[in-house]
Chains A and B, each alone.
Chain A
């Protein structure tokens, strides 16, 4: 520890602290623009100049290391004169038209100018004008306002992993810009809006729609990936206007993915379902709630009576709240059906009944930072888990060896130690090779008979050499037809290494679904069987099966043949209008209280941030009334908190009963056969909200799916990149062929969850490729 005196206060700070960090610890504010605790030190704005005893010149607090016995004066005449001098320079070329600037009212420059600026400017020369830049559909620019602090530049390079912005030109002609003709396409790009201390980078969807002081700031939790980013949702007149990060170092730090940040647009979508609707004689009628609920109760009761309760199936979105999941499960069980599942994209359920607990991350999110060896298996990491990828990017920079086994070689913008890319069917074999190599190194028996490849050996060597390893299984593993085998192999591998292992939770409530018991027990049908063995009636909660299920085509067919499909959703879609007979408008996450249990088992409850739109109502209330109408026991809840507390058995920060272990899964390694599909779920098509956010749909990540093959596969199938190809599996779709050297040989990468590919069928399947 180092001792220093700051503005007369005695302080003790850790070795390596800077003056600004010491000031922060002492609760002293030093004005600054370029400094940001998560970014490298640039010391370019010079606003944080302070006086240090014995130093002849003022020194930048952000870049000056504390030395023992140092005396710092942050508000002395020397310091304040220097700070005011810098402020004058910052303002000479700044437009000073705060009333028409979108940042007005939440601008660091504006705030600090009040304290450090002069009432009038001595600058009488012409001001500089900087042309605006097209950074894409999310970030708007007003580059004349830029003060060249380079926070955005450092963010893209250091946090997002790719230097998509830079400073070009010299002197006061310096401009922040992207590479010629490029936009900023990072899945984390929205954070540069928060980082920009002035109005140079602002939110394009939000631009000029409200002033910060008009907005109520309410806490919430992101409903997308398993991280559960903490949000501040800004609301005006019960309309969500903007979403910002709520800092939580244990979860999302101070960042948000673009999906977390901009999906709010869907909350105000024209596709919002705002009135209960019932289909009568093929015609949709808007009806009162009591009519719709009566209809629903009758329909469920009739089907149960005439076809047996087991002919009803409930498919629940993994993005639904814990309370909603629990009530659907209770409702179904009350009717006498065990057919309930939220694991919609899962295709291998053979581990059911063999699990030792609910699958989860296997560690706290923050513990990722303490791992020195990481193996990520089967994950489109950057797109599936943008902020977990960011965490791994940071630990990799600090020396952690990160290796990857996957069926795609996307650039993760992480410094990888090793990688092995294999066809989907060969993923278990590749993991088995690593297991074998680790077992050999440890003198243990892996119990698998495989030949260890050089890549697997390199990964194994890395894992064995570490003190604290982690094995993380991505969405691709969870969707994989040998998910149980992969789980068992990872378990064995982690056991040998003394490592942590777990799943990167796909959705906001991937853990919560298990906790809410929204999974079939006994003879109940899982999500796949409910579609393979079509039911007479379906209850859909917040899900669009044609996009959310492992086999979209089969899901759609099952819905179409059903006698009754009850859709409980915030949205209507043409598909639902076709197959449903009742639409019950419920609140999205922003209009209901509820709970998400994130991938580390953290219980994150939230309140509604806005009133429900139209006649939409929180789903837990709708389900409660439905339970009452069906005269089921135990539906006397007064609040969602009661539901939660009943499910969790009291208040808890983290849930218990999480365990990734499986018992008695036989490891069989399939042989290669035919051309395999590699299916990713594109980031902005993964759930109903993201699919309806226009700005997200305009990003590069939302580009139409193509049939991506490597050069050898293209040649073998006689296809040239750019050709239209017919891809055949369960159904046939036509797509443009694209060269992608990262796709394993004899594989075609075709995104799932998209209307252009839903007709193709299962995410994991052999396909045929023909020139159209």
Chain B
């Protein structure tokens, strides 16, 4: 049994048929009738028909030990319980601004099962007493934003949204809001600013959104996958959800596997599944090459060498012990054809590009990091550059308003820590340790394009 059980065949079929060529209009099963046929909205009905109190709902979610699926892994039930009870106006917000490089799970949930998000948000709104909700969907998936609007229309027409939902006396309105593709808007307080029509920049915390959130009102923000897990939790019970995974790491989780594997895609596995198993599900290493490194939780998570990763299980605790983060579950797999300097240069450029520019260490530091790494990659590195990079990351980390500064620094620290010799080789020999032709063979795209397939 799995969270996206009903659509998992679609998920895998999609990828088998060629991934990105899969067209939206071929999607089936996202409509309300399909969702209801799969048992959709039964969790909501159950809560209302059995007159569960909001506190009971929160208790059940706490019992499931569902941890935030956006990356930080904060227990969802606990987050809900922070909402002040007495506040007259409260909001619930879904964060579908999935911008972390390597992560594409929320997009597929939006695509194949928008109603599971709606149902999860209604239950959450009921639990925290919110009268209004927003789903913030990033701008690059505009078609899915439109699809979500259609799904909302269906839900409204069916009485799942609006006044007196299912005769419960509970009122909840839900709206979709699309961003314009800024990574920083995935940071929850920047997301709130963006919904308010302002420039997406993180707010200083405290106060936290549970006290001062959207339009200054108490707000709960959860990741799309977290909301999508809620109906499932009420189908099998909090205890049952927890037991699917392992203690302190409840349930199943979607992993977005990308990189040098044969079958990249989204895979739902129970928490605690060995990484080796996930790699096998993804068809193993492309071309049977050797696993070099894995970024286990989206580009902000520290990279781990392949051998360390092969000993990990996929849960928050195991990966933290190995020195990285489960993060958003974006598993970026790199084989031996990868130049780690080039890979880091690309990541550093991303954070340089996406820093919002609000606070000094990140605004100035991300650019500096990128420029130094770019120099090293282009044969202009200096022996003292590695120490400089290390100092810069220390000066950025923990000194910024939001976590983007940390996110930009952790790849730099971990790449240099685990692959120092490659950086030193680059600086000394003004070229890659991995020869360019080997690098090219690592990419089927390249091999096809170069007529070598």
> Which A residues are within 8 Å of any B CB, using their own CB?
41-47, 49, 56-58, 60, 63, 65, 82, 85-86, 88-90, 92-93, 122-123, 125-126, 128, 147-148, 166-167, 169-174
> Which B residues are within 8 Å of any A CB, using their own CB?
182, 184, 199, 204, 206, 352-361, 363-368, 371-372, 375, 388, 394-395, 398-401
Interface centre among A49, A122, A125, A170 (most CB of B within 10 A): A170
Contact partner, B371, options A125, A147, A148, A167, Cβ 8 Å: A125
Contact partner, B361, options A41, A86, A123, A166, Cβ 8 Å: A86
Contact partner, B367, options A41, A65, A85, A171, Cβ 8 Å: A171
Q: Are B354 and A171 in contact (CB under 8 A)?
A: yes
Q: Are A172 and B359 in contact (CB under 8 A)?
A: no
Q: Are B395 and A166 in contact (CB under 8 A)?
A: no
CA distance A90 to B362 in the complex (A): 11
Closest to B184 in A: A170
How far, in Å, is A224 (CB) from chain B's closest CB?
A: 36
Q: Are A43 and B401 in contact (CB under 8 A)?
A: yes
How far, in Å, is B427 (CB) from chain A's closest CB?
A: 14
Q: Are A56 and B364 in contact (CB under 8 A)?
A: no
CA distance A125 to B369 in the complex (A): 10
**Residues on the A chain within 8 Å of B365, using CB:** 89
Q: Are A173 and B361 in contact (CB under 8 A)?
A: no
**Residues on the A chain within 8 Å of B388, using CB:** 122
Contact partner, B363, options A85, A123, A148, Cβ 8 Å: A148
Closest to A33 in B: B360
A-B contacts, CB under 8 A, total: 98
Q: Are A171 and B395 in contact (CB under 8 A)?
A: no
Q: Are B364 and A43 in contact (CB under 8 A)?
A: no
CA distance A298 to B358 in the complex (A): 71
How far, in Å, is A123 (CB) from chain B's closest CB?
A: 7
Q: Are A170 and B354 in contact (CB under 8 A)?
A: yes
Please name 7 pairs of A and B residues whose Cβ atoms are closer than 8 Å in the assembled complex, sorted by A: A44-B401, A45-B360, A60-B204, A63-B204, A86-B360, A88-B395, A174-B356
**Residues on the B chain within 8 Å of A93, using CB:** 364, 367
How far, in Å, is B364 (CB) from chain A's closest CB?
A: 4
Q: Are A171 and B204 in contact (CB under 8 A)?
A: no
CA distance A173 to B371 in the complex (A): 14
Contact partner, A170, options B182, B204, B361, B401, Cβ 8 Å: B182
CA distance A171 to B200 in the complex (A): 12
How far, in Å, is B138 (CB) from chain A's closest CB?
A: 15
How far, in Å, is A537 (CB) from chain B's closest CB?
A: 64
How far, in Å, is A53 (CB) from chain B's closest CB?
A: 16
Q: Are A49 and B399 in contact (CB under 8 A)?
A: yes
Q: Are A171 and B363 in contact (CB under 8 A)?
A: yes
**Residues on the A chain within 8 Å of B361, using CB:** 46, 85-86, 89
How far, in Å, is B405 (CB) from chain A's closest CB?
A: 10
**Residues on the A chain within 8 Å of B400, using CB:** 46
Contact partner, A125, options B355, B372, B394, B395, Cβ 8 Å: B372
Q: Are B399 and A58 in contact (CB under 8 A)?
A: yes
Interface centre among B355, B357, B388 (most CB of A within 10 A): B357
Q: Are B395 and A85 in contact (CB under 8 A)?
A: yes
CA distance A242 to B400 in the complex (A): 38
Q: Are B368 and A92 in contact (CB under 8 A)?
A: yes
CA distance A44 to B358 in the complex (A): 6
Q: Are A170 and B360 in contact (CB under 8 A)?
A: no
Nearest first, the 7 A-B pairs at minimum CB distance are A174-B357, A85-B395, A57-B398, A89-B364, A171-B355, A125-B371, A43-B204
How far, in Å, is B354 (CB) from chain A's closest CB?
A: 7
With A43-B401, A57-B398, A125-B372 in contact, do A170 and B359 touch (Cβ < 8 Å)? no
CA distance A43 to B207 in the complex (A): 13
Q: Are A172 and B398 in contact (CB under 8 A)?
A: no
CA distance A56 to B357 in the complex (A): 24
Closest to B387 in A: A122
CA distance A283 to B306 in the complex (A): 100
Q: Are A123 and B368 in contact (CB under 8 A)?
A: yes
Interface centre among A65, A88, A128, A167 (most CB of B within 10 A): A88
CA distance A57 to B409 in the complex (A): 15
CA distance A43 to B400 in the complex (A): 9
CA distance A88 to B352 in the complex (A): 17
Closest to B405 in A: A46
**Residues on the A chain within 8 Å of B184, using CB:** 170
With A92-B368, A123-B368, A125-B371 in contact, do A170 and B357 touch (Cβ < 8 Å)? yes
CA distance A57 to B395 in the complex (A): 11
**Residues on the A chain within 8 Å of B182, using CB:** 170
Q: Are B395 and A89 in contact (CB under 8 A)?
A: yes
**Residues on the A chain within 8 Å of B352, using CB:** 171-172
With A93-B364, A123-B368 in contact, do A171 and B399 touch (Cβ < 8 Å)? no
Contact partner, B356, options A49, A128, A170, Cβ 8 Å: A170
Contact partner, B359, options A46, A128, A166, A173, Cβ 8 Å: A46
With A46-B359, A167-B357 in contact, do A56 and B398 touch (Cβ < 8 Å)? yes
Q: Are B367 and A172 in contact (CB under 8 A)?
A: yes
CA distance A140 to B366 in the complex (A): 30
CA distance A125 to B364 in the complex (A): 12
Closest to B204 in A: A43
Contact partner, A172, options B199, B364, B401, Cβ 8 Å: B364
Contact partner, A44, options B355, B359, B398, Cβ 8 Å: B359
How far, in Å, is B315 (CB) from chain A's closest CB?
A: 24
How far, in Å, is A118 (CB) from chain B's closest CB?
A: 12
Closest to A174 in B: B357
Q: Are A92 and B364 in contact (CB under 8 A)?
A: yes
**Residues on the A chain within 8 Å of B206, using CB:** 65
**Residues on the A chain within 8 Å of B371, using CB:** 125-126
Closest to B203 in A: A43
How far, in Å, is B348 (CB) from chain A's closest CB?
A: 12
**Residues on the A chain within 8 Å of B366, using CB:** 171-172
How far, in Å, is B270 (CB) from chain A's closest CB?
A: 33
**Residues on the B chain within 8 Å of A170, using CB:** 182, 184, 353-357
